[in-house]
Amino acid sequence: MKLKLSACNNEDFYDDNRKIKPFYVRVESLKEAVEVCQKFISEHFLGGGNWNGGQVYDDKDVQIAQVSYNGRVWNPGKWPQPEIILD
């Protein structure tokens, strides 16, 4: 699986400059994807308005999940989607 990490400027703050161009990292599980996302968010001091990454893709580049800012995992697609419960 691969995980997309990225951030955008928060439009609620005129001086916010936290844009990070999208890049991808390999992950072995959705649990690892959550851990990587939370570390990325913490290291870059991102708020909920900055987070626009977290898309998880299979080896055929089909999105299989979305990790939200709070670490919850969702089925991909138009909101609302069912949550994926991790063990």
pLDDT at 66: 97
Distance, first Cα to last Cα, the chain: 18
- 14 against 83, higher pLDDT: 83
Q: Does the pLDDT value for residue 12 go beyond 80? A: no
User: How many other β-carbons are positioned within 10 Å of the β-carbon of residue 46?
Assistant: 20
**Does this model's pTM top 0.85?**
yes
pLDDT at 14: 66
Q: DSSP 3-state assignment of 62?
A: coil
Percent of the chain whose predicted confidence (pLDDT) is above 90? 78
Q: Smallest Cα–Cα separation from 72: which of 87, 84, 57, 58?
A: 84
**pLDDT tens-digit readout, 52-79:** 999 999 999 999 999 999 999 999 999 8
